Structure 1
Amino acid sequence: MSAIAFVLNGRQVSLPPGTSPTLTLLDWLRGPAVLPGTKEGCAEGDCGACTVVLEGTEGARTPINACLALLGQMHGQAIRTVEGLRGADGGPHPIQRAMAESDGTQCGFCTPGIVMTAWAHAREGGEVHEALAGNLCRCTGYRPILEVFAGLADDCGAAPDLPAPEAVRFEAPGQVFHRPVTLEALLALRAAHPEAWLLAGGTDLGLRVSDHRERPAEVICLLGVPELHALRATPDAIETGAAVSYARLLALFRQEPGFAPFATLLARLGSRQIRGLGTLGGNLGTASPIGDALPPLLALGAQVTLASVRGRRVLAVEDFLKGYRVNDLAADEVVVSVTLPRPAPGELFVCEKVSKRHDQDIATVGAAFRLRLEGERVAEAVLAFGGVGPMAARARRAEAALRGRRLDAAALAAAAEALAEDIAPQSDWRGSAAYRLMVAQGLLRRLQLRAAQPDLALDVADYAP
């Protein structure tokens, strides 16, 4: 049995034997660690009050939600909390001073999380609105906070030295937490423990601990297996390991013009904190009908590679999804990788998401479309939707209504009418069944604009001055 160990605020920490590996990092920080600067707001990864930063060996700084991160996941990592920030004189960090001097804080409850987000943003850069999307401030107002972000400068802090990954096993009363470092070991563990949680980012499973207070008996953590972290672009596709974070995937998509619509969608998937942990493999594993990434995977004709001690098999994502939170993963299998074919030159690839809020919200309706035109006529149409049935799925009748026709208002009206036979939306607090059908049909009609005006803004953020 090993001890959970990590670097915390620059110092090596080893937790006592028997510490629960599924205790959330937030509960440990505010409890045994006596570091209450990190706050608990929602305990669901929405408010950002619990934001801490993972420091990478190459200097990267990744903000995450401590309320969703489990101690077993943190083994071998370097974590920085608000108590670990200092100025050169030993006093408050320049970011902390700027927040106070610009009136960027009132009650102060959200401030530690915002400071940690700012500290990561000063190193990583990017769009300020996107950086702040995961931090909620109820009383200050964002103008002075945005002013602080506009003046940020990297403090050039050195990257930590982290040990090479090693296979570990953590035990606590009634719990075992496995962390293999080879695919072979992972598959052997999965065969021996088919009921264990498969844990990568934990942005979904973490809720079962933080919100529902579940205490799993057996967990197999995927974060130490190199094959699951592989990410490469080939002339024909992007191949991503199942445990590659959305943050890494988004960075690659932004360098690939054909995947720009997918990048715009991923930038709205949760927040930077969620994307720092969440994975495409997890989105497939949960098989939620409102998983943001699933309609684009269907539209692209993506394939998923599964493995077990019995061997490997490759399935189309369309065949992998079976029903409401049901997939074709056998009890002894794991998702190894996902292959996303590149849209062909000249194809129209569109990703859409309609939700009550622009940022940090679950989709009411999601959609992704891929059209291939020959002349003025639609030679191929792939139309995928989420949030309109028990699982994300293609709209086959609507596709047939478009095929062979000019992409005009009449064809799209026919496709929209056929769509009513493809989908079976339900009513809930995010939207009624009638509203969801209307939205899905409206997204289809908007295809005419997408085709006629390829430079049309893909996202409301594109309208920002």
Structure 2
Amino acid sequence: MTPKTIRFLRRGEPVALGNVPPDRTLLEVLREDLGATGTKEGCGEGDCGACTVVLAEADERGGLKYRAVNSCIQLAHSVDGRALWTVEDLAAEDGTLHPAQEAMVQCHGSQCGFCTPGFVMSLFGMYQNHVCKGEAVTRELAQEELSGNLCRCTGYRPILDAAQKMGGLPAVKVDEALIARKLQQLRHHRPQPRHPREGGEPWLPSVAAEMREPWIPAFAGMTEGAGMTPEGAEYIAPETLSGLLAARARHPDAQVVAGCTDVGLWVTKQHRRFAKVLDVTRAAEIRQVEDYDNHIAIGAAATLTDAYAALIDQRPQLKTFANRFAGLPVRNAGTLGGNVANGSPIGDSMPLLIALDAQLVLMNERGHRHVPLDAFYTGYRRNVLAPDELVAWILVPRPRQNEFLRAYKVSKRFDDDISAVCLAIRLELQGGRVANIGIGAGGVAATPVRAARTEAFLLGREWTEAAALEAGELLREEFEPISDMRASAAYRRQVLGNLLRRFWLESQGRRGINLEQFRLQEVSA
């Protein structure tokens, strides 16, 4: 079988890469095959942001939608049919720096310089998504969108200054209409490429005259066995749901991937290899968020950024929790369906969705079935999916009358960190009594889990401080958490009860009792 050729735009010009293994990362291709060494490898797990690049694809208005992502855990094939920018691609041909670069220079935002390319690319994404649309970059927006980039030298003040300064520098615009047209050509003209040395026309003849690199065989200088594509290797990325389900039935042994924010770590940290990969993110039907009378249906391939935007639209109080899920590059790549299907006990989406009584739509070629999220998991990273099934949609009920909802994340670092404990609580009161209650917890069991005993205790009771304190003690005893690098079992139990007490206080209108309400400007005024 001929390995799938990757076709994308770089600097607005078409590029084709052949012979790329399905599990090769984008960072490896950039640095080792294309010589784009400005993109740095720091952590290799999507935590530090040194490897950040920007991807774009056409949106429904004919423009471009830009996403800063971590190239260290993105599979190279994920850029197929998209436009890519690295830090080498921003300056003009005469050497004039892009505003994202110039602002960093003027604000002294770089010291050792290792993290700087990643910061610049996140700034570039911010510039395209906000400055070019006439939106001001506030301090809060800069902090939010740089949350996935870490700096160990300068501190963040000059970098945040640079983010705000970009809009005051001479404007630089991407020709989005041209890029969108070329992306359309990439999508609709996919003949098998022929190397120019073999004779004949290069692929995509309609733009061949504009191409700098018509065809690049990856690993061209490598010896047999040194990372060459294995026999039978395949990267499968159907563009329709029916095609995706058919591919799942034909290849039940393929590794299913979405944003690769976890599978990417299996590649970079565990050195696992996947000869056959099934990418769900190209199926158009499940990339959408759909509104219905009683619920919203979030497609399993919708990015975490888009999925949480839909949840925040329904429940604005979730904004801080959503921003703390991970750094923006992780949310831009990861999907809600992938987070759910992966089933990590420390994943933050599932406790919230359990508290909201979310249901999953599981599909195969024969049909579909609905499963409550709290009934989906059967053990550590195990679930009820059949070998030919996939998660297709997550159905989230709309807010109920008199609903009071809070989602709490406790971690060692406020931004871009994994939870030690995650707790989400949804409360509905009628006449001062608990008419409905949903409690989801993460980090305290082998799976994300519902606190069923605590829910049963509170249901029908008068909502008083005494009831909340007693429920907190019950919640501490409901689970048997482990001790690990993030927290001890005793700490986790204590935090569970403390969070329920915090929930009680907030339900009574108390403010200023957690960091979410803390504003440095107000304290220093």
TM-score range, shorter chain: over 0.9
Contact 1:264 1:459 in 2 (8 A): no
Distance in 2, matches of 1:253 and 1:397, equals 27
Alpha-carbon distance change, 405 to 347 in structure 1, aligned in 2, over 3 angstroms: same
Tell me which residue corresponds to 1:186: 244
Choose from 248, 256, 263 the match for 1:205.
Answer: 263
Q: Report the secondary structure of 1:152's partner residue.
A: helix
Distance in 2, matches of 1:267 and 1:246, equals 10
Tell me which residue corresponds to 1:9: 11
Residues 261-310 of structure 1 show CA distances to partners (whole Å, capped at 9, x for unaligned) of: 33332211111100111111111111111110001110111010111122
Tell me which residue corresponds to 2:289: 231
Tell me which residue corresponds to 2:90: 85
Tell me which residue corresponds to 2:57: 56
Contact 1:385 1:395 in 2 (8 A): yes
Tell me which residue corresponds to 1:68: 73
151-160 or 340-349, which moves further after superposition?
Answer: 151-160
Q: Displacement of 1:190 after TM fit?
A: 1.0
Q: Displacement of 1:210 after TM fit?
A: 2.1
**RMSD value, Cα:** 2.1
Contact 2:476 2:496 in 1 (8 A): no
Residue type at the aligned position of 2:436: E
Q: TM-score, normalised by structure 1?
A: 0.94
Tell me which residue corresponds to 2:407: 351
Residue 132 in 1 paired to residue 146 in 2?
yes
Distance in 1, matches of 2:452 and 2:370, equals 23
Contact 2:477 2:493 in 1 (8 A): no
Q: Displacement of 1:451 after TM fit?
A: 1.0
Choose from 215, 221, 230 the match for 1:173.
Answer: 230
Alpha-carbon distance change, 235 to 156 in structure 1, aligned in 2, over 3 angstroms: farther
Choose from 342, 349, 357 the match for 1:293.
Answer: 349
> Which structure 2 residues correspond to residues 151-170 of structure 1 after superposition, within 5 A?
151-153=165-167, 155-159=172-176, 160-161=179-180, 162-163=183-184, 165=187
Tell me which residue corresponds to 1:214: 272
Tell me which residue corresponds to 1:322: 378
Tell me which residue corresponds to 2:163: 149
Q: Report the secondary structure of 1:207's partner residue.
A: helix
Q: Displacement of 1:461 after TM fit?
A: 6.2
> Which structure 2 residues correspond to residues 414-433 of structure 1 after superposition, within 5 A?
414-433=470-489
Distance in 1, matches of 2:323 and 2:365, equals 36
Q: Displacement of 1:124 after TM fit?
A: 2.4
Distance in 2, matches of 1:427 and 1:130, equals 31
Distance in 2, matches of 1:35 and 1:99, equals 21
Residue type at the aligned position of 2:242: E
Tell me which residue corresponds to 1:246: 304
Contact 2:23 2:267 in 1 (8 A): yes
Contact 1:183 1:225 in 2 (8 A): yes
Residue type at the aligned position of 2:145: A
Residue type at the aligned position of 2:284: P
273-282 or 215-224, which moves further after superposition?
Answer: 215-224
Q: Report the secondary structure of 1:6's partner residue.
A: strand
Q: Report the secondary structure of 1:64's partner residue.
A: strand
247-256 or 65-74, which moves further after superposition?
Answer: 247-256
Contact 1:48 1:134 in 2 (8 A): yes
Alpha-carbon distance change, 113 to 176 in structure 1, aligned in 2, over 3 angstroms: same
Alpha-carbon distance change, 240 to 455 in structure 1, aligned in 2, over 3 angstroms: farther
Contact 1:295 1:368 in 2 (8 A): yes
Distance in 2, matches of 1:429 and 1:251, equals 31
Contact 2:427 2:438 in 1 (8 A): yes
Q: Displacement of 1:168 after TM fit?
A: 10
Distance in 2, matches of 1:346 and 1:455, equals 19
Q: Displacement of 1:150 after TM fit?
A: 1.4
Aligned residue pairs total 462
Distance in 2, matches of 1:410 and 1:308, equals 48
Contact 1:264 1:458 in 2 (8 A): no
Contact 1:169 1:177 in 2 (8 A): no
164-173 or 437-446, which moves further after superposition?
Answer: 164-173
Structure 2: gaps spanning 5 or more residues:
131-136, 194-227
Tell me which residue corresponds to 2:39: 38
Alpha-carbon distance change, 329 to 462 in structure 1, aligned in 2, over 3 angstroms: farther
Residues 190-223 of structure 1 show CA distances to partners (whole Å, capped at 9, x for unaligned) of: 1121121111111111111122222202111112
Residue type at the aligned position of 1:341: P
Residue 312 in 1 paired to residue 368 in 2?
yes
Q: Displacement of 1:86 after TM fit?
A: 1.8
18-27 or 429-438, which moves further after superposition?
Answer: 18-27
Tell me which residue corresponds to 2:219: none
Residue 402 in 1 paired to residue 403 in 2?
no
Contact 1:397 1:421 in 2 (8 A): no
Alpha-carbon distance change, 237 to 459 in structure 1, aligned in 2, over 3 angstroms: farther
Tell me which residue corresponds to 1:340: 396
350-359 or 402-411, which moves further after superposition?
Answer: 402-411
Distance in 2, matches of 1:372 and 1:461, equals 23
Distance in 2, matches of 1:226 and 1:15, equals 24
Choose from 116, 128, 131 the match for 2:121.
Answer: 116
Say which one has the larger Rg. Answer: 2
Distance in 2, matches of 1:217 and 1:326, equals 22
Q: Report the secondary structure of 1:172's partner residue.
A: coil
Q: Report the secondary structure of 1:363's partner residue.
A: coil
Residues 36-71 of structure 1 show CA distances to partners (whole Å, capped at 9, x for unaligned) of: 000011111011000000123223221000001111
Alpha-carbon distance change, 53 to 22 in structure 1, aligned in 2, over 3 angstroms: same
Residue 374 in 1 paired to residue 430 in 2?
yes
Distance in 1, matches of 2:486 and 2:407, equals 20
Residues 95-153 of structure 1 show CA distances to partners (whole Å, capped at 9, x for unaligned) of: 21221222111111111111111111123246111111111111122121111111122
Q: Displacement of 1:165 after TM fit?
A: 4.6
Residues 365-421 of structure 1 show CA distances to partners (whole Å, capped at 9, x for unaligned) of: 101111110111112222111111111111122112222222222101111122233
Contact 2:67 2:125 in 1 (8 A): yes
Structure 1: gaps spanning 5 or more residues:
none
Q: Displacement of 1:187 after TM fit?
A: 1.3
Distance in 2, matches of 1:220 and 1:228, equals 15
Residue 363 in 1 paired to residue 411 in 2?
no
Contact 2:100 2:127 in 1 (8 A): no
Q: Displacement of 1:21 after TM fit?
A: 2.9
Contact 2:342 2:381 in 1 (8 A): yes
Identity rate of aligned residues, in percent? 40
Tell me which residue corresponds to 2:218: none
Q: Report the secondary structure of 1:371's partner residue.
A: strand
Distance in 2, matches of 1:372 and 1:35, equals 54
Tell me which residue corresponds to 1:102: 107
